[in-house]
Chain A
Amino acid sequence: MCCSHSFDDRKPQVVAEAMNLDIIKGMKFFDPHVHMSSRTTDDYQAMADAGIVALIEPAFWLGQPRTGIDSFRDYYSSLVGWERFRSSQFGIKHYCTIGLNSREANNERLAEEVMELLPLFIYKEGVVGIGEIGFDDQTAAEDKYYRMQLELAKEAGLPIQIHTPHRDKKKGTQRSMDIAIEHGIDPKMVIIDHNNEETVKEVLDRGFWAAFTIYPFTKMGNERMVELAKLYGPERIMINSAADWGISDPLAVPKTAALMKLKGISDEDIKMITYSNAITAFAQSGQIDENDFITPLSVDQTEKFAGNTVLRGGQQPRTDKSSIIIS
């Protein structure tokens, strides 16, 4: 989930590294947090070109509050339906996490109805966790629905993807972990998201997964991320783009991998941080089969071309962007 940007945050970059992803050519990436519903087909093509083979789209706040239960149903349904199909057309395997986000937990009347709706979605194929849930303002209502969803995750045996607040981040992060432990959740089932230098140590020490969002201006920059990777190593650490309707970058994962490589981090460590750790964490749902994206097949392709991977990398026709002719 993003926040509103203030212009003060938008410091111009002093030194621009030329964008060159050649050094990570052939590497595969998994972006475990990206809101594709808010992105374009150009993004999908660029992501596939940069080596992203699979992603997780957490259910989130759409930028303005929903006013009725049907909007939630249609949104969840699009995460397992249309968006999944759209992604498959570019050769990217699409998973999602389903949950009631913290902001909208504050509309209690609606939140009650959403809680009734969730069981209809969390058992569906490719739903790899409950998420993104947690705290925003840290209100009593947020606390209530966070706890209810922890119980739901426990019952369904699903991992939990936790959004940590922008404001009062350190305490909000600690509180999220305390409550999870209180509910008897195993820390290895919990991915704490949007970490920074201030929160990561405690998250790792307590046995949780630590995810970092590489997001311009408001969250982590990737130079800071490289330093953290050097300091903490690759164990239980993963990065994501959390790209959404704000100024964000769906190529944050491959770009950061390239920067890590430039700064001398080993290929094995890069692979753990940008690919395998996310799979290990979310595959605890029983809903991720790595074979699905090692030899990518779109939904249509499995039917039509039965095992033939000639169309590797997606079947959508490309437009020639270097030409002014549109045919």
Chain B
Amino acid sequence: MFDYDAERFRVLITELTRSNVTEETWHWLSEKFLAPETSAVNSAFAMMPRKTGKLPIAINHELWVEIEKLKPGFTLEGWTIDRIGRLCLLLHLDPTDKEKYVKTIENLFLAAEVNELVALYSSLPLFAWPELWLMRCAEGVRSNIGLVLEAIMYKNPYPISYLDEKAWNQLILKAFFTGKDLNKISGIDERANAELASTLVDFAHERWAANRKINPHLWRLTSKFIDDDLLTDLKRLFGEGSLRDRQAAALTAYQSDSVLAKNLLKSYPELLKAIENKELNWSSLTPEE
């Protein structure tokens, strides 16, 4: 039913929620845990910020570490009290009636405003029946709302574990098109694939033809697929690119298994040295100049 220790997780989130709300709010919320009818869940979910406020959560270090350990890749960074209250409510839904459980959450998605969508999508890795949320996650990637995309893309372990290659590639392409910070996407390098690399290279050529800038992080996803064409691109980056382009080309060549690419990098000893000294890596590269 769950792909992690959901029972322990629920206990900890409940404890965390309780310590962040007033006695009165806690009384209101904990009553909803017992309510069997969906309408009570619906209105409690919508009303949450009125009851809890929207301040960032207060949490001690031990609890933080324990929660994040239960679900590797999941983070509480940036969570507010209304969001944790919403998660807490969802974790108390009875997952044994699979159909009802999925329908209840799906209906919340259908009527959600932005903050609700953020709460729902960032909770995706914690829902029961994880394999059933694949379409929902892919649908979220189609959103044009920045915060919603970030809730799915940034430090969310769901997409990396469950999206198939096609949906994963859409997520990455969308991240480039919407100017997201690629360093925050979990699993970005692990899930690099030939199909994605080829689409990204086409995209890069399109940008070059239109005289537009290219996010240098694009090249990191090509490093395992260096062929003659990509080698030409790397040469172009080294020869005509900005400092950031040259750094990206160096990192790409360094990570690749291609002897030709590695030889090319040797012509730029100062960049090679920076990588070997750990002064240059993808995290030190920012997308915009």
Chains A and B are bound partners? yes
CB contact list, B42-101 vs A, under 8 A: 42-43, 46-47, 49-50, 78
> Which residue of the partner chain, among B50, B117, B147, contacts A123 with CB atoms under 8 Å?
B50
Number of interface residues of B (CB under 8 A): 21
Closest-CB distance, B91 to chain A (whole angstroms): 21
A contact patch SS: helix
Query: Is B110 touching A125 in the complex (CB atoms < 8 A)?
Result: no
Complex interface: chain B residues within 8 A of A76 (CB): 111
Query: Is B113 touching A81 in the complex (CB atoms < 8 A)?
Result: yes
Q: Does B243 contact A (CB under 8 A)?
A: no
Given A73-B110, A84-B114, A123 contacting B43 (CB threshold 8 A): yes
Complex interface: chain B residues within 8 A of A123 (CB): 43, 46-47, 50
Q: Does A38 contact B (CB under 8 A)?
A: no
CB contact list, A70-103 vs B, under 8 A: 73, 76-77, 80-82, 84-85
Q: Does B145 contact A (CB under 8 A)?
A: yes
A-facing mask of B100-140, CB < 8 A → 1, else 0? 00000000001111111100000000000000000000000
Q: How far is the CA of A81 from the CA of B114 in the complex (A)?
A: 6
Closest-CB distance, A101 to chain B (whole angstroms): 19
Complex interface: chain A residues within 8 A of B241 (CB): none
Given A73-B110, A76-B111, A286-B50, A124 contacting B146 (CB threshold 8 A): no
Name which residue of chain B comes closest to A301, CB basis: B146
Closest-CB distance, A48 to chain B (whole angstroms): 19
Given A77-B110, A82-B145, A124 contacting B116 (CB threshold 8 A): yes
Residue among A119, A120, A126, A300 having the largest count of chain B Cβ atoms under 10 Å: A120
Residue among A80, A121, A126 having the largest count of chain B Cβ atoms under 10 Å: A80
Given A81-B145, A124-B46, A286-B50, A303 contacting B150 (CB threshold 8 A): yes
Query: Is B43 touching A299 in the complex (CB atoms < 8 A)?
Result: no
Q: How far is the CA of A20 from the CA of B231 in the complex (A)?
A: 59
Complex interface: chain B residues within 8 A of A299 (CB): 114, 145-147
Complex interface: chain A residues within 8 A of B39 (CB): 119
Q: How far is the CA of A286 from the CA of B113 in the complex (A)?
A: 18
Q: How far is the CA of A84 from the CA of B39 in the complex (A)?
A: 25
Complex interface: chain B residues within 8 A of A125 (CB): 49-50, 113, 115
Query: Is B147 touching A81 in the complex (CB atoms < 8 A)?
Result: no
Closest-CB distance, A286 to chain B (whole angstroms): 7
Q: How far is the CA of A299 from the CA of B43 in the complex (A)?
A: 23
B-facing mask of A96-134, CB < 8 A → 1, else 0? 000000000000000000000001110111100000000
Q: How far is the CA of A61 from the CA of B117 in the complex (A)?
A: 26
Closest-CB distance, A64 to chain B (whole angstroms): 23
B-facing mask of A130-164, CB < 8 A → 1, else 0? 00000000000000000000000000000000000
Query: Is A73 touching B111 in the complex (CB atoms < 8 A)?
Result: yes
B-facing mask of A263-301, CB < 8 A → 1, else 0? 000000000000000000000001000000000000110
Q: How far is the CA of A126 from the CA of B47 in the complex (A)?
A: 11
Q: How far is the CA of A82 from the CA of B146 in the complex (A)?
A: 11
Name which residue of chain A comes closest to B145, CB basis: A85
Query: Is A81 touching B42 in the complex (CB atoms < 8 A)?
Result: no
Query: Is A120 touching B46 in the complex (CB atoms < 8 A)?
Result: yes
Residue among A82, A85, A125, A300 having the largest count of chain B Cβ atoms under 10 Å: A125
> Which residue of the partner chain, among A82, A84, A120, A300, contacts B111 with CB atoms under 8 Å?
A120
Q: How far is the CA of A147 from the CA of B113 in the complex (A)?
A: 27
Closest-CB distance, B147 to chain A (whole angstroms): 6
Query: Is B145 touching A119 in the complex (CB atoms < 8 A)?
Result: no
Complex interface: chain B residues within 8 A of A84 (CB): 113-114
Query: Is A119 touching B146 in the complex (CB atoms < 8 A)?
Result: no
Closest-CB distance, A57 to chain B (whole angstroms): 13
Complex interface: chain B residues within 8 A of A77 (CB): 110-113
Complex interface: chain A residues within 8 A of B147 (CB): 299-300, 303
Q: How far is the CA of A76 from the CA of B150 in the complex (A)?
A: 24
Query: Is B43 touching A120 in the complex (CB atoms < 8 A)?
Result: yes
Closest-CB distance, B266 to chain A (whole angstroms): 39
Q: How far is the CA of A123 from the CA of B43 in the complex (A)?
A: 7
Q: How far is the CA of A120 from the CA of B109 in the complex (A)?
A: 12
Complex interface: chain B residues within 8 A of A304 (CB): 146
Q: How far is the CA of A246 from the CA of B147 in the complex (A)?
A: 33
Q: How far is the CA of A80 from the CA of B145 in the complex (A)?
A: 12
Query: Is B117 touching A81 in the complex (CB atoms < 8 A)?
Result: yes
Closest-CB distance, A75 to chain B (whole angstroms): 11
Complex interface: chain A residues within 8 A of B50 (CB): 123, 125, 286
Q: How far is the CA of A303 from the CA of B154 in the complex (A)?
A: 12
Given A82-B145, A299-B145, A303-B150, A121 contacting B111 (CB threshold 8 A): yes
Q: How far is the CA of A208 from the CA of B265 in the complex (A)?
A: 76
Residue among A85, A121, A126, A300 having the largest count of chain B Cβ atoms under 10 Å: A85
Query: Is A81 touching B43 in the complex (CB atoms < 8 A)?
Result: no
CB contact list, B138-152 vs A, under 8 A: 144-147, 150
Complex interface: chain B residues within 8 A of A119 (CB): 39, 42-43
Complex interface: chain B residues within 8 A of A85 (CB): 114, 144-145
Closest-CB distance, B273 to chain A (whole angstroms): 34
Closest-CB distance, A249 to chain B (whole angstroms): 28
Q: How far is the CA of A123 from the CA of B113 in the complex (A)?
A: 11
Complex interface: chain B residues within 8 A of A303 (CB): 78, 146-147, 150
- Chosen A-B contacts, 11 in total, with CB atoms closer than 8 Å, are A73-B111, A77-B110, A77-B113, A81-B114, A119-B39, A120-B42, A124-B46, A124-B116, A125-B49, A125-B115, A300-B146
Nearest 3 CB-CB pairs, A to B? A80-B113, A300-B146, A123-B46
